[in-house]
Structure 1
């Protein structure tokens, strides 16, 4: 299996964990105050960014509909500015952007 495929599968796995960790919450405030689930979710965002850094730039260019660099940049914010994270912003990413990303990656894998 190629390094790219393994990275994409790892991203899917991380997204599925985010979905599990956040499914019982209906808003950013409740999610943020669940220390374990919030922290676990942030770790999965870091993993997604790490996996993106392992993907070849040519591949990313071929699949430019995915904002690879923006996602990687978000990983850096989570990893280096953890205490400055805005829970509402995280919640918006979880509720609006994570499912489309998962679908895009699944389409690539198909």
Structure 2
């Protein structure tokens, strides 16, 4: 298993965890439950950290994988932890991550 594959699997594991935390798709859970919010934010941080380890070769072959955006989200969450925008977290979780998951599952199927 290549290093890139390991990091892609880590990203997919974090996406699956977020899906579990937000089962039912209710935003209120994210807003009202501090543990859920902390868990989702942590998994997004892990996704971004794993993305920092994806090789330039991987990025060149898979330009549809938004590595820079994943890293940017991680940086925002780490450095602005008191100012985390739940609108952005929610949008990322319910709109962006399903698309990312599909792309990364396609990467692993080769």
TM over 0.5, shorter chain: yes
Task: Kindly indicate whether the alpha-carbon contact (under 8 Å) linking 1:49 and 1:72 is maintained by their aligned counterparts in 2.
Answer: yes
**1:8 touches 1:105 (CA, 8 Å); kept in 2?**
yes
TM-align CA RMSD: 1.1
DSSP-derived class of the 2:101 partner: helix
Moved over 2 A (4+): none
Distance 2:25 2:61 in 1: 36
Partner of 2:46: 47
Deviation at 1:24, TM superposition (A): 3.5
Instruction: Calculate the TM-score normalised by the size of structure 2.
Output: 0.93
Gaps of 5+ in 2: none
Cα pair 1:25 1:31 within 8 Å, conserved:
no
Q: Which residue of 2 aligns with 1:69?
A: 68
Q: How many residues align?
A: 109
| Residue matched to 1:11 | 11
Unaligned stretches of 5+ residues in structure 1: none
1:25: Cα distance to partner? Answer: 4.4
Asked if structure 2 preserves the Cα contact closer than 8 Å seen for 1:4 and 1:54, the reply is yes
CA distance in 1 between partners of 2:33 and 2:24 (Å): 11
Matches within 5 A, 1:1-110: 1-27=1-27, 29-110=28-109
C-alpha distance in 1 between matches for 2:47 and 2:29: 23
CA separation in 2, counterparts of 1:79 and 1:24? 27
Task: Report deviation, 1:30.
Answer: 3.8
